Amino acid sequence: MQHYLRDQIDWPQAFPAEEYATRLDRVRTALRAAGLDAIYVTVPADLTWLTGYDMIWYHLRNLTGLLVRAASAETVFFDHSAHVTIVSTTPEIRDVVWLEHGPVENAVQAIAGKAKALGLSGKRIALQPWSYAPHASVIAGLCAALEDIGATTADGSLLVEELRLVKSPREIAHVRRAAEIADEAMCAARNAIEPGIMETGIEAVIAESMMKAGGGYPGIRTMIGSGPRAGTHHSAPAHRRVRQGDLVFVDFCASWHRYHVNLNRTFSVGEPDPRWRDLMEKAAGCIDAIVDGVRPGDPWSRVQELGDRHTDENGLRPYVWFIGGYSLGIAVPPDWVGAHAPRPSAELPDRVLEPGTVFNFENQFDVWEDWPGGSGAAYIETLLMTETGLEILSSLRRDLVVV
């Protein structure tokens, strides 16, 4: 730790110290409730939530993590010595163990050795094997090393995510700012779309708008598709140039201190085939049906039920690629959504929608009937559950927009 660098911090932090202290207290309470003595946090979004740490490269050998103990107010951060500056300028990181270059086994032993020194031999320690970094074999090696000091290990992959699912008032303020940045960037994209512009040129406009607003890198790579690529799913912008008559699909996640909002709109360069307009006008009412029909305390599956009902009652099912959504919060690319969704999975049961929950809801359509203009159309809204009901965070129309 270079304390002279910490003394030179002259930019605003995402949250005051008491916000992070409250979060750590909640983690300790959750550990005790689960019969755990500690957790070694490696999920990047969880690390950001607990400390404000923001780093761009969580590679598969990376064991950057935070050790939180149920019986101690002190935490220990483990990081590569290449990140001295990042750590030194992250005020909520205090006690650090540096992991040097070399075999992963060295880092594993350093973590296990510190755990032993802190009295965690014979204790139950949770790890996060479902994190996308480090690799599962690295986590397995850490499990073995902790067991060698007499500890037992458990899966705590979702322990912190469950706590950050419902946002605090300060977090909601960040989400609202991200929504403003998203609307501004989408308007900039709309104004830039014209025949001849490359899809990558549209992304440049979006990125410039978001970065100038202080939003930072988006929650996930931007998706843009035009003409035959307008029904795109999970594809990056290409070198294709927009033509008159094209549909243009624009989908991105604006962020503010890594809190993100997902926004997707489809534009038409000139007057579209009426079938596209009809499809999107009918689909636009899906969000209205959800907002009108869902209240705090309802099961989250109620959102999916109403979305599916609107889709079927309006005859849109033959064109559906995806109707649904995901929990949102902190996004550290490439990951951008949480484990929970309006459509319950076999692994995670349905849950009550509480005020402070943020999620997106998507209406994504593929059309394989060779309608002029493109191969599909879509929109995505981000929704916030408040004390009185669902709030749509974008102010932009969601039907097909002619440019």
- Kindly tell me the sign of the dihedral angle through the C-alpha atoms of 58, 60, 62, 66: positive
Distance of alpha carbon 194 from the chain centroid: 31
pLDDT number for residue 251:
98
Predicted confidence at residue 102, as pLDDT, reads 85
The two tokens of residue 124 are: 């139950």
pLDDT at residue 216 in the model: 87
pLDDT of residue 353: 96
pLDDT tens track, the chain, 403 positions: 899 999 999 999 999 999 999 999 999 999 999 999 999 999 999 999 999 999 999 999 999 999 999 999 999 999 999 999 999 999 999 999 999 888 999 999 999 999 999 999 999 999 999 988 999 999 999 999 999 999 999 999 999 999 999 999 999 999 999 999 999 999 999 999 999 999 999 999 999 999 999 998 999 999 999 999 999 999 999 999 999 999 999 999 999 999 999 999 999 999 999 999 999 999 999 999 999 999 999 999 999 999 999 999 999 999 999 999 999 999 999 889 989 999 988 778 899 999 999 999 999 999 999 999 999 999 999 999 999 999 999 999 999 999 9
**Per-residue confidence (pLDDT) for residue 118, from 0 to 100:** 97
To which residue do tokens 């992959």 refer? 157
pLDDT of residue 1: 87
Q: What is the pLDDT of residue 277?
A: 97
The confidence score (pLDDT) of residue 346 equals 72
**Structural domains present in the chain:** 3-163 (3.40.350.10), 165-402 (3.90.230.10)
Predicted pLDDT at 344? 84
